[in-house]
Structure 1
């Protein structure tokens, strides 16, 4: 028996759909507080030493956290090649904006304190703000556009054509709302991290901002759900399709109609756990900020992120990327994956290396556990940013 036949093709596809969600959530949780901290830098830290405290709260760990982004991109490329082709080609300018902003972060961390000049340091502080704000906003905008559908299609030879034009068409009202949900969510998460890792005025300001950001996240998330229910059409497969056959997006018919994105919740009520956790997590985070529970606020903000991102995947399943040009070209779990053998080999690799990455990351955070204070920054040891 060939080894990869131990797991059915359709099961492997669902497993990799789940793993893709895990990687996206892992990135949002692990690198999300880095992005949130960057957005908060000019506002919760008012003196130079306070801003250095904020930078050093994430400086030792941000590079490791970006492993989740790299791994997620690699997983999409290998497991979902059609999804990779459409998203990375169609959202090319958006991806470039994210990449440019992310490049500002390491440069800002390394060069910000190289000169004593106040204007120099202020410029890099705002560069770090951009490095946090732009990725958070654009990634949320991308999710909003995915929920609405993306203008692409396949021809008879299964060649992909993207029919969009500019970056600005992505900045539609619903896309911007989704971007604001992302920004508020990651500001909440970044504030939770700063409350955990700092003390004094920085921690107090972060606590106040985080509590408000959590409530804003709830309001925007609910607004996004209502808008999705009343104003955005969903996509549903209406023909019979083979879940364990070769990937062929054109071998199906797709219906476009209102409220379809909510059909899964009626058919499978347990899926309501996704939006419930998003709302409950943010509400508890706001409360725990106020009662000064540092670890609790970070855990609840992470739970909220888990719930909000899960909501998107659960609402759309089995659709991964809908097409507004030709609905039957929409990519699903069943017709846009790599081969059976590829998914199986990747699963074995993931089962070996993901635990290693998680174990190493846990070790790093254990070693670096503790608060960053002004004395540790200004003692002249030379190890601080």
Structure 2
């Protein structure tokens, strides 16, 4: 069967699609995590916390599909990326999975008993299931920006030489702070839309703080990357259409290399600008009581912040701080041309179905969650 796209084009398409899936996960499951992280603080009474849980209870499973899609895409389209990420970040990923399991278990088990201690324990379990993934995903992104300590041997086998504690540096923790803050911001706006006072008012107070924290940490991280962090660049002639062999290139580290793309491709500045402006406008929309617009702008800010990382690293996906030549790029870490094309066909069919179903589900579930609506719903948590 003739393939209508050349190999280079398919690699670029899948690089974009990978970004779309990861951003989709951050936007859709991000507000779930944000709401969970706010549960013990915004919910002052048991009734308040039941309302908060039921704002995301019917939708969290569908939102988490984006994580499965992203992981599946990495496995099939970028197998070497999958091998390095899921081996190097194994303990961190296990921590994330454990937290993601605790959250739905907390939703189900919390209502089994009415004892205050029982429910408090599960409330903090749900909080853990929200804040831990939000932090760890940001820390993982920070490690990618700094460079991951791994190398690839002559048999194309990746070897991670770092440890779990090496993942946590001042810069990666700063990235974790950006991630947690922007997702809590997103979750607070969703919570304000789905609830009535006083819950809505408490959630909106959180937005004031998350706006400042997100903008401040994002700006500090950007300044550090531009002025103090060594990035990487390909220093040899590199055939983009060559077989997947990362060792066929030469890579050097250079101070400020991650901002060089903005000199060569000036349009890329739109990504960090969107991150800053949309976050600020989201707060402005909240101040004007335009909550749905503020929520959409919050999603746009997440898009801009995550896109900033991808565009800054281009064409790298996971650079190696131990052996820069082993760094994985768009051009040398993908599956075969046929695999990418078959996956593209499947994605073209199923992604619109997922988007359409998600849109329909949210229309059906539109409206505020109140004590009255919970008393009328036998399926509430």
- TM-score w.r.t. length of structure 1: 0.98
1:110-189 mapped onto 2 (5 Å cutoff): 110-164=108-162, 166-189=163-186
Q: Is 2:379 the counterpart of 1:383?
A: yes
Q: Could you list the per-position Cα deviations for residues 232-272 of structure 1 after superposition, in whole angstroms to 9, with x for gaps in the alignment? A: 10010111111112110000001101011000111111000
Aligned residues: 381
1:5-44 mapped onto 2 (5 Å cutoff): 6-44=4-42
The CA RMSD measured in Å over matched residues stands at: 0.8
Q: Which residue of 2 aligns with 1:250?
A: 247
Is 1:211–1:289's contact at 8 Å kept on the other side of the alignment? no
Q: Is 2:48 the counterpart of 1:59?
A: no
Runs of 5+ in structure 1 lacking a partner?
Answer: none
SS in 1 for 2:247: coil
Q: Say which of 232, 256, 263 aligns to 2:229.
A: 232
Q: Which residue of 2 aligns with 1:296?
A: 293
SS in 2 for 1:236: strand
Q: How many angstroms apart in 2 are the aligned matches of 1:280 and 1:75?
A: 30
SS in 2 for 1:324: coil
Q: How many angstroms apart in 1 are the aligned matches of 2:209 and 2:104?
A: 29
Deviation at 1:381, TM superposition (A): 4.0
Q: How many angstroms apart in 1 are the aligned matches of 2:232 and 2:319?
A: 7
Q: Which residue of 2 aligns with 1:3?
A: 2
Q: Say which of 313, 317, 324 aligns to 1:327.
A: 324
Q: Which residue of 2 aligns with 1:198?
A: 195
Compare 282-291 and 309-318 and name the one that shifted more. 282-291
Is 1:137–1:182's contact at 8 Å kept on the other side of the alignment? yes
Deviation at 1:156, TM superposition (A): 1.6
Deviation at 1:228, TM superposition (A): 1.0
Deviation at 1:31, TM superposition (A): 0.2
Q: Say which of 357, 361, 364 aligns to 1:360.
A: 357
Q: Is 2:241 the counterpart of 1:241?
A: no
Is 1:211–1:285's contact at 8 Å kept on the other side of the alignment? no
Deviation at 1:382, TM superposition (A): 2.1
Q: How many angstroms apart in 2 are the aligned matches of 1:226 and 1:197?
A: 37
SS in 2 for 1:114: coil
Q: How many angstroms apart in 1 are the aligned matches of 2:152 and 2:317?
A: 15
Is 1:89–1:162's contact at 8 Å kept on the other side of the alignment? yes
Q: Which residue of 1 aligns with 2:70?
A: 72
Q: How many angstroms apart in 1 are the aligned matches of 2:371 and 2:214?
A: 31
Q: How many angstroms apart in 2 are the aligned matches of 1:50 and 1:59?
A: 14
Q: Which residue of 2 aligns with 1:104?
A: 102
Deviation at 1:215, TM superposition (A): 2.0
Instruction: Label 1:381 to 1:260 Cα distance change in 2 as closer, same or farther (>3 A).
Output: closer
1:267-306 mapped onto 2 (5 Å cutoff): 267-306=264-303
Q: Is 2:305 the counterpart of 1:308?
A: yes
Deviation at 1:3, TM superposition (A): 2.1
Q: How many angstroms apart in 2 are the aligned matches of 1:107 and 1:269?
A: 47
SS in 2 for 1:161: strand
Q: How many angstroms apart in 1 are the aligned matches of 2:84 and 2:123?
A: 35
- TM-score w.r.t. length of structure 2: 0.99
SS in 1 for 2:148: coil
Q: How many angstroms apart in 1 are the aligned matches of 2:15 and 2:98?
A: 28
Is 1:208–1:289's contact at 8 Å kept on the other side of the alignment? no
Q: How many angstroms apart in 1 are the aligned matches of 2:146 and 2:80?
A: 18
Q: How many angstroms apart in 2 are the aligned matches of 1:383 and 1:353?
A: 29
Deviation at 1:380, TM superposition (A): 5.6
SS in 2 for 1:250: helix
Q: Is 2:221 the counterpart of 1:211?
A: no
Q: Could you list the per-position Cα deviations for residues 290-346 of structure 1 after superposition, in whole angstroms to 9, with x for gaps in the alignment? A: 221110110111010000000000000001100011101000000000000000000
Q: How many angstroms apart in 1 are the aligned matches of 2:376 and 2:353?
A: 35
Deviation at 1:359, TM superposition (A): 0.6
